Structure 1
Amino acid sequence: MMFDLPDSQTLYQALLSRDAAYDGRAYVGVTSTGIFCRLTCPARKPKFENCQFFATPGACIEAGFRACKRCHPVDAAAGNDPNVRRLLAALEARPGHRWGEGDVIAMGLDPSTTRRAFKRQFGMTFLEMARQRRLRDGFTTLSAGEPVIAAQLDAGFESPSAFRAAFARLVGVAPGAFRKDAQLLADWIDTPLGAMVAVACQHRLHLLEFADRKALPREVAKLQKRHPGGIGFGRPAVIDQAAEELAAYFAGQAARFETPLAYHGTGFEAEVWRALREIPAGETRSYGQLAKALGRPGSSRAVARANGANQIAVMIPCHRVLGADGALTGYGGGLWRKQRLIEIERSLSTSAA
């Protein structure tokens, strides 16, 4: 079950001491190996800077980590549900298979029951878990400069058209449309709240979104239209800088971002985004307060629309804006992420004080 994770230092100490109190409640992803474990894992302990902590195995898988073969974190999270364990064993045996509801039914299982059981245990369905593993393998291959056919095979898709269709659904651009000589380059950044897709040129970050955001395909497509040079795969220094600053942020070390950003919007939208960056970490504003700060009282709805048009999550902190009554309002990355980002920043501001 989900619960609010304590700070990373507390979790790291629990990892070092193999604290059983966190078993099934927190997991560690090790960036140097790409593996995630239970905190009680007997394996050699990683350095703190190589650790990312998650509340569920599903979040670890979304961030691109593979399950440890010593502590079997996915099996442990399955509990005593025999159907969940059976499907996990089937996925382990055929990780590249293109799983569908027909396969679940063929195993004599009810898809709706299975869907609820996986959601309860992992925060994602069985089919989502299988798809995340396949697409991540394919994206990694493409980022390394391999041809689409190699990515297709690594992702376990039987045909190029199936892989292209799945990839297009994720980022809005078919793999074949990505150019080797592109000015804009795309790559993944892993975070404790899930993988993020970053797009940057050699000088500025143009897009940063959680990979599961529904608006991501539309945003990538808009970027592609604006830039005749197209989009390719790669990791320029700007994305490296963004990854380092995000790692410090999620580790509770700093909330200041120096990565140069490119604003793709109207003059008013850019004005709103700059105002968002001026809200101190640990504080929030209502749309009305933000409108007044811009000298535009009565433009709350326009401010809200500009907030929703933001294409650079976290670094342009649209999560710091709440409803007039202080309630969480819409957030493209999910309200649970908005709540967690606010909690992280309040912890940061408390530590600074």
Structure 2
Amino acid sequence: MLVTDVRQIDSYYRALIGRAADDVGIFYVAVKTTGVFCIATCRARKPKRENVVFYTSFKEALDAGYRPCKVCKPTENAYTAPPEVAEAIAWVRQHPKERLSDSHLRQRGLSPERIRRWFQQHHGMSFQAFQRSLRINTALEELKTGRRATSVAFDHGYESLSGFGYTCKKLTGAAPTAAAHVILIHRFTTPLGPMFVCASERGVCLLAFVDHRMLETEFRNIQKEQQARMLPGENRHTRQAEREVGEYFAGTRQCFGLILDTPGNAFQQTVWQALQAISYGHTVSHAALAEQLGQPRTVQAVAVANDANRVAIVVPCHRALGEHGRLNSDDSGLARKQWLRDHERRLA
């Protein structure tokens, strides 16, 4: 929200002048004379007190018409893991079969409490739960190659096969030897804020900004539809998604090569395919899409199918316009959609 309390504004302005790292992500300062917004540690020349307003989320700054600063990149860096968290994550990914305990973190000069708070805030789970999920995912991948469950269990630090089986069933809903269906979820940052990508073995199920209003409902629906459990982790589809979305924002990619695994009825699938056929940098109205599809469907039905799209950017619902050429005011955010359209027009 827009900060209006004078004392709070004075406190934030002092933090801005002092480049206070502790305030990164706490507030966003918008500069009225330049039309950009920044985070507390921005290295750019500091604006005058009367020329700034403060917001508590970058989405509100975007909605007010401000652009992300190219120096501090607020929508990326406000959510990037701090150095000690990034170090812990890197170690776990490099040693997926080992457990990094609190005592080991302290030996490395890292604070378990700070890491735990960051994971609860940004992943909704503890760092230890994140580790367990990665270990199980790695173990399941090895089981698919034909390795015996006993050797995999001990190789991943479990003291018994039963302990391995219990943890696996708790997290995936199936025993290690069963064909557990798992959907992996991975978080990464973009110039418009952090995103979640979810992928099964078949392809990408969801690509959405983490502040998407219906995200928890989408998670539940995907798991129910695919009879699967969702675990933190990566596979070839999540890695490809992060790489291609990064290239899209960098202006070096206009078409995506991702394989999608998005259940939907026949009409929804038809609309999503039509969205992907809209040329980069162009827009089409819902009415034109309905006419193009040549089916006895209303414009409203096309709009509903468009809103049901779970794969943002790749299935470009931001290129579909409502009545009188306006964007629909759905929960994905008008400001983001307008930014994506402007981004493509500049590069098309």
What is the TM-score normalised by the length of structure 1? 0.55
Aligned-partner residue type, residue 42 of structure 2:
R
Do the aligned partners of 2:76 and 2:190 also contact (CA within 8 Å) in 1? no
| Cα distance in 2 between the residues matched to 1:23 and 1:336 | 14
In structure 2, the CA distance between the partners of 1:24 and 1:319, relative to structure 1 (3 Å rule), is: closer
Residue 252 of structure 1 contacts residue 347 of structure 1 at CA under 8 Å; is this kept in 2?
A: no
Change beyond 3 A, Cα 1:311–1:290 = same
Match of 1:205 in 2: 204
Distance in 1, matches of 2:289 and 2:250, equals 28
Aligned to 2:255: 256
Matches within 5 A, 1:47-126: 54-55=68-69, 59-60=75-76, 63-66=79-82
Partner SS state of residue 325, structure 1: helix
The verdict on how the C-alpha distance between 1:23 and 1:304 changes in structure 2, with shifts beyond 3 A counting, is closer
Secondary structure at 2:186 match in 1: strand
Structure 1 residues 24 and 271, CA, compared in 2 at 3 Å: closer, same or farther? closer
Where do 5+ consecutive residues of structure 1 fail to align?
Answer: 3-20, 28-35, 42-52, 69-94, 99-129, 148-175
Q: Does 1:38 align with 2:42?
A: yes
Secondary structure class of the residue paired with 1:187: strand
Superposed displacement of residue 322, structure 1: 1.2
CA distance in 1, matches of 2:332, 2:172: 25
Runs of 4+ in 1 over 2 A off after TM superposition: 21-27, 36-41, 53-68, 95-98, 130-147, 176-183
Pick the aligned partner of 2:121 from 119, 134, 158. 134
Query: Is the CA contact (8 Å cut-off) linking 1:308 and 1:332 kept in structure 2?
Result: no
- Find the aligned partners of 2:189 and 2:275 in 1 and give their Cα distance: 24
Deviations 1:179-228 (A, max 9, x none): 69542111112111111111101230011111101111111101111223
TM-score by length of 2: 0.56
Partner of 1:237: 236
Task: Report the secondary structure of 1:255's partner residue.
Answer: coil
Mapped contact 2:204–2:261 kept (Cα < 8 A):
yes
Cα separation, 2, equivalents of 1:139 and 1:337: 30
Shift of 1:331: 3.5
* Cα shift at 1:97: 12
Please say if residues 331 and 338 of structure 1, whose CA atoms lie closer than 8 Å, have aligned partners that are also in contact: no
CA–CA distance in structure 1, aligned partners of residues 327 and 227 of structure 2: 38
- 8 Å CA contact 1:184, 1:201 repeated in 2: yes
Once the 2 structures are TM-superposed, how far is the Cα of residue 241 of structure 1 from its aligned partner? 0.4
8 Å contact 2:76–2:194 — kept in the other structure? no
1:171 is matched with which residue? none
Q: Partners in 1 of 2:332 and 2:234 — Cα distance?
A: 23
Matched residue type, 1:201: S
Equivalent residue for 1:328? 327
Q: Does 1:344 align with 2:343?
A: yes
Deviation at 1:255, TM superposition (A): 1.6
- Structure 1 position 345, deviation (Å): 1.1
Larger Rg: 2
What letter matches 1:341 in structure 2?
A: L
Matched with 1:274 is 273
CA contact under 8 A between 1:281 and 1:348: conserved in structure 2?
no
1:263–1:138 distance in 2 versus 1, CA, 3 Å: closer
Partner SS state of residue 208, structure 2: strand
In 2: Cα distance, 1:37 partner to 1:58 partner: 9
Q: Give the aligned residue type for 1:64.
A: T
Verify the 8 A CA contact 2:206 2:262 in the aligned structure 1.
no
Q: Tell me what 2:190 maps to.
A: 191
Q: State the partner residue of 2:57.
A: none
CA RMSD in angstroms comes to 3.9
User: Is this contact kept in 1: 2:133–2:171, CA < 8 A?
Assistant: no
In structure 2, C-alpha distance between the alignment counterparts of 1:145 and 1:97, rounded to whole Å: 15
Q: Is the 8 A contact 1:182 1:232 kept in 2?
A: no
In 1: Cα distance, 2:119 partner to 2:188 partner = 15
2:256/2:314 contact within 8 Å kept: yes
Instruction: Give structure 2 stretches of 5+ with no counterpart.
Output: 3-32, 46-66, 85-112, 135-169
Measured against aligned partners, the alpha-carbon deviations of 1:63-93 in whole angstroms (never above 9, x if no partner) come to 334499xxxxxxxxxxxxxxxxxxxxxxxxx
What letter corresponds to residue 276 of structure 2 in structure 1? Answer: R
User: 2:206, 2:310 within 8 Å by CA — same for their partners in 1?
Assistant: yes
> C-alpha distance in 2, partners of 1:143/1:182?
18
